[in-house]
Structure 1
Amino acid sequence: MVKKYFYMIGNAHIDPVWLWNWNEGLEVVLETFRNALKLMEKNSRYKFTASSTIFYKWVKELDKNLFNKIREKVFEDRWYIAGGWIVEPDCNIPCGESFVRHSLYGQRFLLENFGKICEIGYNIDSFGHNWMLPQILSKSGIKYYIFMRPKPDEKTLPENIFWWESPDGSRVLAYRIPISYTLTGERIGRAIEELDEKSSRDYVMLFYGRGDHGGGPVEEDLKIIERYGERVRMSIPIEFFKKILEKYNDIPVVRDDLQHHARGCYSSHSKIKYLNRLSEATAIYSEIFATISKILLDEKYPKKTFREIWLNILFNQFHDILAGTSIWEAYEDVIAS
């Protein structure tokens, strides 16, 4: 049996809202990011990946010192900011303009604060992915896409790595995470050994670290990875994708939606879905009339106000909010906002 090469992605999936309110999610973000930096100080080979530009906006506003330390690690290629969007949203319900605004405001924040945009779309916990996304992603500077759902028993794909192509021909190189994005402890070793046998490619990307309520990897996880030697390396996703493109020219193409997972969520909490569509339409038409007023009457265009309105809409499109899978107390906050 030929041993595979593993790109191990230290991560901490964070649901800012789910079985808790957003204020608890905020504290989880701060604590998780601080823990990631502490682990980097203890192990010079450790690298960390986290998505959602709203998290970094919170950090910048609440703990400037923490934000500056993260910037240093980003410039060292030890911390990768994935996604390029405000949050990891539901990828079926929002209108097309909302996905564009996720990219617009998310990528702009990264460019202004880190000097570069993100190249990797990242919706690892969303329940499905509509077919227009490769077009929006590629036109937003994103070349790659990482997801986990639907799983193999829900959607048959030629393999975990493939070109995902929209009807207009736009494409991104997509990767379905095998097994889980929350591998920890000895589960890491078992996953490596399993994919040594099952993977159709010589290069595999695995995700490890405690998630949902944050946390991330711990020292024990790194020790387990290090016992496998050089073929199992701590990494960031961009290194894996570049290796795949360097080694392979026979990657299959998928021209389809990536569906379905947890279908029942699309009929849950219908009021939240109604408010989302109402908010989207109101924001879009308000911008149109504000533009007309600017052109015809020279009225001041409320650019900052519209940005804040959109950021609120986009945050509330987080997959566990919009899909209707959070606790009721969380929806009281959403309705109030």
Structure 2
Amino acid sequence: MKKRVHVVPHMHWDREWYFSTEESQILLVNNMDEIMEMLESNPDYPSYVLDGQTAVLEDYFEVKPENKARVRKLVQAGRLIVGPWVSQTDEMTTGAESITRNLLYGYKDCIELGQPMAIGYIPDSFGQTSQMPMILNQFDIQYSIFWRGVSERHGTDKTEFYWESDDGSRVLVQLFPLGYAIGKYLPTEPDALKERLDKYFKVLDKGATGATELLPNGHDQMPIQQNIFEILAQLNEIYPDREFFLSRYENVFEEIEKHENLDTLHGEFIDGKYSRVHRSIFAQRQDLKAMNTRIENKLTNVLEPLMSMAFDLGFSYEHGLVEVIWKLLLKNHAHDSMGRAARTKFTVKSRRATKKLRSAATA
């Protein structure tokens, strides 16, 4: 039986890292225009994944609001895959309610355009919290894709398994054993293409529980690969024992759900054996992390309960005002931002944003 290699076009979008949000936004406008042009002009190009976060679209619409109808049409057609998150959060340094609101408001954003991707897509979070399956199940999400934190020390050397929380909630996981960028900028030269993928297939073959394998075609801020059909033709010629085709993550899960005797793992995943989980970020800019925790507590334990009591007394409950505060906070929770992995000048900007949040939450 031929191995089926699902090539999934995507981009991973860091709103800030070694570049500012504004610099990222400049790249985003060009990338989004090229993505939409490809989807609209080429029916054989099935779909494109926008990194599972709606903040990308918010930044794009800020510059090109006139393209919202085009985006909506592509989302509703299942061609442009959006959500389910607002931002690609860090799971280990943010509160449980923040992670839940990240999904809640992400879903709300997606429904205005079409339907969210019903996958707990967390390609770059620096470790996985043990209760993520429970949170995902609350939104009727049964699948998850992530990269960091797992090794055979958790109980399996396979890349497909079930992940179960303490309450019995569980999701089916497709692991990125080598990260989300192994299919970035695939070369056209056959020897270079084979040399590169031969190394990856050794790992993918070992981890697969069946004939299904995943090759994500994207990277940080990477433009869409315009010559992907040429690449696919070469891959199918180089590897006659494999079938390469453009796909989407949902199709991967449809196949691995049929695999029998998948292992079930429990607990959090913060093992750095195969991927960096950046434990040192806990000590990075403690002032901002402490301020974030105070804001989370103020929102969930003071502001919203008081607003609920006021509502019972006849006052209006202004959901929109609360959402504005939450969404600004959630953008601060992006893994590089919350981990304070960004350059110093951008951390200063983040500090200003955090102070603005504190002011809004205590107003």
> Does the TM-score normalized on the shorter chain lie above 0.5?
yes
- Specify the alignment match of 2:239 in structure 1: none
Is contact 2:161-2:172 (8 Å) kept?
Answer: yes
Q: What is the 5 A alignment of 1:137-216?
A: 137-150=136-149, 152=151, 157-182=156-181, 183=183, 184-186=185-187, 189=194, 190-191=196-197, 194-195=200-201, 197-198=205-206, 199-209=208-218, 211-212=219-220, 214-216=221-223
1:73 partner SS: helix
1:6 partner SS: strand
Q: Does 2:293 align with 1:277? A: yes
Q: What is the 5 A alignment of 1:1-337?
A: 3-41=2-40, 43-46=42-45, 47-50=47-50, 51-82=52-83, 84-114=84-114, 116-150=115-149, 152=151, 157-182=156-181, 183=183, 184-186=185-187, 189=194, 190-191=196-197, 194-195=200-201, 197-198=205-206, 199-209=208-218, 211-212=219-220, 214-229=221-236, 231-245=243-257, 247-260=258-271, 261-284=277-300, 285-296=302-313, 298-337=314-353
- Deviation string, structure 1 residues 227-250 (Cα, Å, up to 9, x no partner): 3348211111111111222x3132
Is contact 1:8-1:232 (8 Å) kept?
Answer: yes
Output the CA distance in 1 between the equivalents of 2:156 and 2:321. 43
| Displacement of 1:223 | 1.6
Percent identity over paired residues: 22
Output the CA distance in 2 between the equivalents of 1:280 and 1:36. 36
Output the CA distance in 2 between the equivalents of 1:315 and 1:154. 33
Output the CA distance in 2 between the equivalents of 1:188 and 1:110. 36
Change (3 A) 1:185 1:302: same
Q: Aligned-pair RMSD on alpha carbons?
A: 2.3
Is contact 1:178-1:206 (8 Å) kept?
Answer: no
Is contact 1:188-1:225 (8 Å) kept?
Answer: no
**Comparing 250-259 and 40-49, the one that deviates more:** 40-49
Is contact 2:137-2:170 (8 Å) kept?
Answer: yes
- Specify the alignment match of 2:359 in structure 1: none
In structure 2, what residue type is equivalent to 1:54? A
| Displacement of 1:289 | 1.1
| Displacement of 1:168 | 0.3
Is contact 2:4-2:244 (8 Å) kept?
Answer: yes
In structure 2, what residue type is equivalent to 1:118? M
Change (3 A) 1:157 1:35: farther
Question: Which 4+ residue blocks in structure 1 deviate beyond 6 angstroms?
Answer: 153-156
Is contact 2:120-2:143 (8 Å) kept?
Answer: yes
Change (3 A) 1:149 1:72: same
Structure 2 gaps of 5+ residues are 237-241, 272-276, 354-363
| Displacement of 1:311 | 0.5
Output the CA distance in 1 between the equivalents of 2:112 and 2:280. 39
Output the CA distance in 1 between the equivalents of 2:200 and 2:2. 11
Q: How many residues in Structure 1 have an aligned counterpart in Structure 2?
A: 330
**Comparing 323-332 and 309-318, the one that deviates more:** 323-332
Is contact 2:151-2:157 (8 Å) kept?
Answer: no
| Displacement of 1:193 | 7.2
- Deviation string, structure 1 residues 169-224 (Cα, Å, up to 9, x no partner): 00111111132322222376533674275344200111112x22x12332234421
Is contact 2:147-2:175 (8 Å) kept?
Answer: yes
**Comparing 93-102 and 182-191, the one that deviates more:** 182-191
1:280 partner SS: helix
Output the CA distance in 1 between the equivalents of 2:87 and 2:54. 7
In structure 2, what residue type is equivalent to 1:98? S
**Comparing 8-17 and 195-204, the one that deviates more:** 195-204
TM-score (norm 2): 0.84
Is contact 1:8-1:206 (8 Å) kept?
Answer: yes
2:13 partner SS: coil
Is contact 2:123-2:179 (8 Å) kept?
Answer: no
Is contact 1:145-1:174 (8 Å) kept?
Answer: yes
| Displacement of 1:156 | 6.5
2:112 partner SS: helix
Is contact 1:138-1:172 (8 Å) kept?
Answer: yes
